[in-house]
Structure 1
Amino acid sequence: MRTISNQKYEITDIAHEEYPFLHRIRALRDICGEIRAGDIGGFVESESNLSAEPGDCAWIFDDAIAAGDAYVDRDACLRGDAIACGSAYVSKGSVMSGHSRAEDNAYLRGASMTGKALASGNAQIIHNPHTMGTPILSGNCKVYGTVQGDIRITGSAVILPCEEVRNDTRDTFVLSGKSRSVIRGIGRETLKPLQKEVSPMKTKTPKKRGVER
């Protein structure tokens, strides 16, 4: 069943093999060029899991799941076998793929999760609008704290509940297991003039300093 206001998708009778309370969605119209009317999507528990707002490209693909009170909106998407459950909020262009999982009160805003990455507890994975830095989680990493900006967390890295890793620079921070490294931004090592070069024809002879006699 779908609400009268939901003209974006419907919940079908196709149940999940392992979790029969989940059902696949079907697009009722073309969505942002990638999804066509009639296309089958991933699984939801109810319409409370996926935005039906006009113009919102949020979608659940493949065998991905949004369950419980989890919510996907604002052009975010779930792909592969990704799972958003509990009260997780996946928003603002975030992409979850692989076997990644967002649970509890995790909040993703403009983030990317893949592999077996986990966002749990009160984790916050947040894009930095000033530096345009996007957090990327992959491997078997687990995040319970806050990650913001151009940060790549991979391998077996763990961010604890009270730990905050913020990057407000133009470099990339890489956390992998117990190691931490930096990838310098393009052009960061090159010196540039403070002002634009002045044409020789317009160069003025500097005035002499001191008292003339």
Structure 2
Amino acid sequence: MIKTSNLKYEITDIAHEEYPFLRRIRALRDVGDQVKAGDLGGFVESESNLGTDPSDCAWIFDDAIAAGDAYVDRDACLRGDAIACDRAYISKGSVMSGHSRAEDNAYLRGASMTGKALASGNAQIIHDPHTMGTPILSGNCKVYGTIQGDVRVTGSAVILPCEEVRNDTRDTFVLSGKSRSVIRGIGRETLKPLQKEVSHMKTKTLKKRGVER
């Protein structure tokens, strides 16, 4: 057993078949709703790959890997055969699954990656807290630049290091291969009347104050 110093998980002697320097983790306590004490997780190179705070639900599932100086914390998780390596930082509820890979200095904050999606270089895949837009990478896409908000990058799309796609609208931007499209938000095409009651109350208030509109 590898010596560990945290109360959340331990690093077992179970080595990865292809990369024997990686070892499986085992939960020492319940982690969130999906991990029970004693459950085996994915693979890490050291404790520096996965947050150790018992209150943090971050976890590595299945055969997923966090290696090198990659770090997973703040309720983020790796599933399937996903890989976070080099100095990648996976945080704030991000989910990597399938055969997705985050490498170099890639940063995921509240984002989703699946399929064979790749985040490389100084890529930033960031959730927009104002519009609640979540970036989703799938297919064989490769992102080296910045994606923020409700943006879906799929197929064979490539975002170059100098490119920034920031969506602060209520619509969804879709980048697939060389094509780009928009999915309109629900109700965006429907016209709605002003709230007459609110307008009426405002008029009464103004009249009380001696102001005529």
SS of 2:80 mapped into structure 1: coil
Residue 2 of structure 1, CA deviation: 3.8
Per-residue deviation at 1:194? 2.4
Partners of 1:54 and 1:129 in 2: how far apart?
25
Q: Contact 2:113–2:137 at 8 Å: present in 1 too?
A: yes
AA aligned opposite 2:157: A
- State whether residues 103 and 119 of structure 1, in contact with CA within 8 Å, keep that contact through their aligned partners in structure 2: yes
Deviations 1:142-168 (A, max 9, x none): 000000000000000000001000000
Q: How far is 1:68 from its partner?
A: 0.1
Supply the RMSD in Å over aligned alpha carbons.
Answer: 1.6
User: Partners in 1 of 2:29 and 2:11 — Cα distance?
Assistant: 14
Are positions 1:7 and 2:7 aligned together? Answer: yes
Deviation by residue 1:73-125 (Cα, 9 ceiling, x = unmatched): 00000000000000000000000000000000000000000000000000000
User: Is the contact made by 2:80 and 2:99 (CA closer than 8 Å) also made in structure 1?
Assistant: yes
Indicate the SS of the match to 2:42: strand
**Contact 2:4-2:11 at 8 Å conserved across structures:** no
Q: How many Å separate the matches in 2 of 1:172 and 1:196?
A: 31
Q: Does 1:91 find its partner at 2:124?
A: no
Give the corresponding residue for 2:64: 64
1:48 maps onto 2:48 in alignment: yes
Question: Residue in 2 aligned with 1:185?
Answer: 185
Indicate if the aligned counterparts of 1:79 and 1:97 stay in contact, CA closer than 8 A: yes
Distance in 1, Cα, partners of 2:185 & 2:65:
36
TM (normalized to structure 2)? 0.91
Amino acid of the structure 2 residue aligned with 1:188: R
Looking at structure 1, the residues matched to 127 and 196 of structure 2 have their Cα atoms a distance apart, in angstroms, of 33
Unaligned runs of 5+ in 2: 205-213
Alignment-derived partner of residue 207 in structure 1: none
Q: Is the 8 A contact 1:23 1:43 kept in 2?
A: yes
Q: 2:147 matched to 1:152?
A: no
Partners of 1:152 and 1:45 lie apart in 2 by 31
Q: Letter of the aligned partner of 2:98 in structure 1?
A: G
CA distance in 1, matches of 2:172, 2:54: 35
How far off its partner does 1:197 sit? Answer: 4.4
- Residue 158 of structure 1 aligns to which amino acid in structure 2? V
Q: Is the 8 A contact 2:31 2:54 kept in 1?
A: no
Q: 2:140 aligns to what SS in structure 1?
A: coil
CA shift, 1:192, in A, is 1.3
Q: Which amino acid aligns with 1:104?
A: D
- Checking the alignment, whether the CA contact within 8 Å between 1:16 and 1:22 is kept in structure 2 is yes
Q: Which has the higher helix share?
A: 2
Matched, 1:117 2:117: yes
- Larger CA Rg, structure 1 vs 2: 1
Paired with 1:196 and 1:85, the residues of 2 have a C-alpha distance of 56
Asked if residue 162 in structure 1 is aligned to residue 162 in structure 2, the reply is yes
Gapped regions of structure 1 (runs ≥ 5): 205-213
Q: Does structure 2 retain, via aligned residues, the 8 Å contact 1:2–1:47?
A: no
- SS at 2:153 equivalent: strand
Q: Secondary structure at the match of 1:25?
A: strand
Count of matched residue pairs: 201
Match of 2:175 in 1: 175
Counterpart amino acid of residue 95 in structure 1: V
